[in-house]
Structure 1
Amino acid sequence: MTDSENDVETGASSDAAVETDAPDVLVLRNGTHGMPVEQYAAAIRDRLPGKTVALARTPADERVAIENARFVTGMTLDEGLLEAAENLEVFACAYAGTGHLPLDALEERNVTVTNASGVHGPNIGEHVLGSILRFTRRFHVGARQQRRREWRHYKAYELQGSTVTIVGLGAIGKAVCERLEPFGVETIGVRYTPEKGGPTDEVIGFEGEAFDEALARTDYLVLACPLTETTRGLIDHEAFTTVDPDAVLVNVARGPVVDTDALVGALRSNRIRGASLDVTDPEPLPEDHPLWTFGNVQITPHNAGHTPNYYERLADIVAENVRRVADEPNATLENQVRP
């Protein structure tokens, strides 16, 4: 056994050295949201008593451990590491998005890919609701006046009776809709297949007059969709011209869903009331970018996905799929995106 093999942490109830046998699950070393990846490995172990869960802590560990691993999970998997994965059958991506993965190479190797869809529903749903309430009651104005020690009334709004358009009805969009239900709002959902319906009062597609008409009567426009050819630049100059000038944009999708120059122009000309941006284009947002300077823009550093329960929810998905693979090698996995 090599020194690298000795460095890989494994075991169901305690850490032990990896022998020549492959672990049931290999966890790669990159964590997310500033949380130690050891927490992720521990959460999987808790759900799979009797299974071997290995955590590779260095690049060398990963290259050695992945050679015989059949089930691997992590934030990313580069092509170099994939080349060393001689027996890989499943890669459980620890992000909801998989566009950063070498998907073509994984498909050529017949590797099944799953994602973390659904993990972010509660926390991003709360982030969106908080953003909407912030602009509804204009807490940012109150905070500014508090810093100045000004006791002066200011105009506020009421969420009840508003129209909220949610672009994207996946796990996040559904979570947003659920949290809005008690507030007495009208909801419009936008999805690729509107005939499937959804949790909103009305469901439309991305194209045609229906989308423009929805923009025209929207008070809060929530973007919770993936970045695709259809959604890239979806909210452009024409969209900002169509949307009600008293509307607020909330983007928890991807920065390029919004045309940044068009957004800056809309803010400068008061064609929208404000924007809450958890994602931007470019990202990170440069220090000298004009979006930092607007008092009616809330910027968070792609932070809506942070939750202390991230690894716990993700481990539920991964553990279930490990069980499915063990029981039936060709079973369809939860959150399967490829093949």
Structure 2
Amino acid sequence: MTDDPGGPSDSEQTNVLVLRSDTHGIPIEQYVQALRKRLPERTVELASTPAAEHEAIQAAPFVTGMALEESLLEAADALDVFACGFAGTDHLPLAVLAERNVRVTNASGVHGPNIAEHVLGAILRFTRLFHVGDRRQRRREWRHYQTHELQGSTVTVVGLGAIGQAVTERLEPFGVETIGIRYTPEKGGPTDEVIGFEAAAVQEAFARTDYLVLACPLTETTRGLVDREALTTLDPNAVVVNVARGPVVETDALVDALRRQDIRGASLDVTDPEPLPEDHPLWGFDNVQITPHNSGHTPEYYERLADIVAENVRRYDEDGPGATLENQVVP
């Protein structure tokens, strides 16, 4: 409740509808509890069945959840704000939401620490070859093997949002050179060098890269960014780490590059297609690490998400349709 005497009364406080889908196997009820803790003066309602969602969304101006199907959106007559629980929003009917003047926010910032730790672990795995040591331990085989050193390497991070920045910050103590690629290079960033998506600049950066970290949204610019030409441009000792979206990498080109040893390896938390079929050749490479879109998991997920959403509920209460919302992506 606002301290402004001219603000909304108790009866005008915005209630929040939470849709039923969870994420990473964490019960959605934990998200509801986190929101209720931050918004004690409001009603935070969980729609736990399809029928309940369809009924409750008809009069709900502020809705949050992991996804919003277009069929459900058709019933959302009062919807002003949809607070998506994911950082990526490419799975949403964004064009329809924009047409209906529904503002969409995302969960940018929720994933920074956990995905950055995942990326750092993947880089260190390929640097010190822990997977080789693991195989030899399981075989009870005491035999030395050659490894690499991260210090002095060049790490290129595609995407300097919250995740890319968190990755770069955690790399700083390791004595690496960093290149950041972003849509607005004039904004700068935490990397030693920042460039845009101009083809010549990207190719030049890839040619210098030892570890290529993909932490960007999937757009027309980034779709297929790592194609055959890019994989050929990378040094044969380079490693690709993808925590963005599967289609940022051309899968067939990646398989061919691995077979030809055009790169040293890949760590893939996302794939195209996804889930990866059981008979897909990527499963068979010793130098490919595959995790099931799991880098986003953290026990702090709903707590961080609730911080963002609760703040936006307060802003919406204060300023209504003209409110400036954190992480707004549409319109």
| TM-score in terms of structure 2 length | 0.94
Cα distance in 1 for residues equivalent to 2:131 and 2:50: 45
Deviation at 1:171, TM superposition (A): 0.8
Retained in 2: the 8 A contact 1:40–1:312? yes
2:209 corresponds to which letter in structure 1?
T
1:32 aligns with 2:31: no
Residue 22 of structure 1, CA deviation:
9.7
2:96 corresponds, among 101, 105, 121, to 105
1:61 counterpart = 2:57? no
Counterpart of 1:336, as a letter, is Q
Sequence identity, in percent? 77
Any idea what SS the aligned residue of 2:149 has?
A: coil
- The residue type equivalent to 1:273 in the other structure is R
- Alignment-derived partner of residue 323 in structure 2: 331
Secondary structure in 1 aligned to 2:48?
A: coil
Residue among 128, 135, 147 paired with 1:144: 135
Q: Which amino acid aligns with 2:195?
A: I
CA distance in 2, matches of 1:284, 1:79: 23
Shift of 1:237: 1.0
Which of the pair has the greater relative contact order for Cα pairs under 8 Å at 6+ separation?
Answer: 2
1:301 corresponds to: 292
CA distance in 1 between partners of 2:27 and 2:74 (Å): 26
Give the deviation of 1:192 after TM superposition.
1.3
CA distance in 2, matches of 1:208, 1:256: 18
> What pairs with 1:127-138 in structure 2 (closer than 5 Å)?
127-138=118-129
Change over 3 Å in CA distance of 1:66–1:208 after alignment to 2: closer
Deviation at 1:97, TM superposition (A): 1.3
Alignment root-mean-square deviation, CA: 1.4
Within the candidate set 138, 151, 157, 2:148 is matched to 157
| 310 and 334 in structure 1: CA distance in 2 versus 1, 3 angstrom threshold | same
Structure 1 counterpart of 2:257: 266
Moved over 4 A (4+): none
Q: What is the one-letter code of the residue matched to 1:256?
A: P
Q: Distance in 2 between matches of 1:230 and 1:300?
A: 25
Structure 1 contact 121–175 (Cα < 8 Å) conserved: yes
State the distance in 1 between where 2:148 and 2:245 align: 28
Is 2:220 aligned against 1:247? no
Following TM superposition, by how much is the alpha carbon of 1:23 offset from its aligned partner in structure 2, in angstroms?
A: 6.5
What is the letter of the counterpart of residue 70 of structure 1? P
SS of residue in 1 equivalent to 2:74: helix
Q: Is 1:224 aligned to 2:215, yes or no?
A: yes
Mapping of residues 42-191 of structure 1, within 5 Å: 42-191=33-182
Secondary structure, counterpart of 1:267 in structure 2: helix
In structure 2, runs of 5+ residues without a counterpart are: 1-11
Equivalent position SS for 2:21: coil
In 2, are the aligned partners of 1:23 and 1:53 still within 8 Å (CA)?
A: no
Cα distance in structure 2, aligned partners of 1:212 and 1:303 = 29
> Which residue matches 1:204?
195
Q: Shift of the alpha carbon at 1:104?
A: 2.1
Give, in whole Å, the separation in 1 of the partners of 2:91 and 2:201.
33
Moved more, 173-182 or 92-101: 92-101
Letter in 2 for 1:257: V
Instruction: In structure 2, give the amino acid aligned to 1:107.
Output: A
User: Is the contact between residue 275 and residue 298 of structure 1 (CA under 8 Å) also seen in structure 2?
Assistant: yes
TM-score, normalised with respect to structure 1: 0.92
CA shift, 1:200, in A, is 0.2
Report the equivalent of 1:11: none
Q: State the Cα distance separating 1:111 from its structure 2 match.
A: 1.2
Which residue number corresponds to residue 275 of structure 1?
266
Q: List gaps (5 residues or longer) in structure 1.
A: 1-20
Q: In terms of mean alpha carbon deviation, does 134-143 or 210-219 score higher? A: 210-219
In 2, distance between residues paired with 1:22 and 1:293? 55
Residue 84 of structure 1 aligns to a residue whose secondary structure is coil
Aligned length: 320
